[in-house]
């Protein structure tokens, strides 16, 4: 029978790298000034402001394709409908700043 005391240190050695990969940083993209053969080119992209709320876009047929946490201020959604892509940031209510309703900011690519 395997000694349980000896198994714990062995498991810690194997599980430590997994825990290290699970940690996320604020910005997971490579820095723009880093010289690397795997870094993509920085290309100007035009974002057009959309004056429609996130809830209205969802009611008109847009569907959420991706979502991620957005730097402590809410969630970032990617929406799609008929080959049109929209980025939208949803900011939840925050009683510390007297913001009592959720707001969204959206841009069309």
* pTM listed for this prediction: 0.61
- Give dist(CA 75, CA 106) in Å, integer: 12
3-state DSSP helix/strand/coil % of the chain, to nearest 5: 25, 30, 45
DSSP label at residue 96? G
pLDDT tens figures, 72-105: 778 999 999 999 999 999 998 888 888 889 999 9
Could you tell me which residues come within 8 angstroms of residue 93 by beta carbon, excluding any fewer than 6 positions away?
Answer: 99, 100, 101, 102
Is 89:78 a contact under the CB 8 Å cutoff? Answer: no
pLDDT tens figures, 35-79: 777 777 778 889 999 999 999 999 999 999 999 987 777 899 999
| Cross-strand bridge partners of residue 84 | 81
């Amino acid at each position: 029978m395997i000694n349980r005391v000896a198994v714990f240190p062995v498991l810690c050695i194997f599980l430590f790298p997994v825990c290290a990969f699970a940690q996320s940083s604020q910005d997971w993209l490579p820095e723009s000034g880093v010289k690397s053969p795997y870094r993509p080119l920085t290309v100007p992209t035009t974002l057009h402001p959309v004056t429609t709320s996130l809830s209205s876009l969802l009611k008109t047929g847009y569907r959420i394709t991706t979502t991620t946490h957005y730097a402590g201020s809410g969630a970032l959604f990617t929406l799609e409908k008929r080959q049109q892509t929209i980025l939208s940031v949803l900011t939840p209510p925050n009683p510390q700043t007297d913001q009592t309703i959720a707001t969204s900011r959206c841009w069309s690519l």
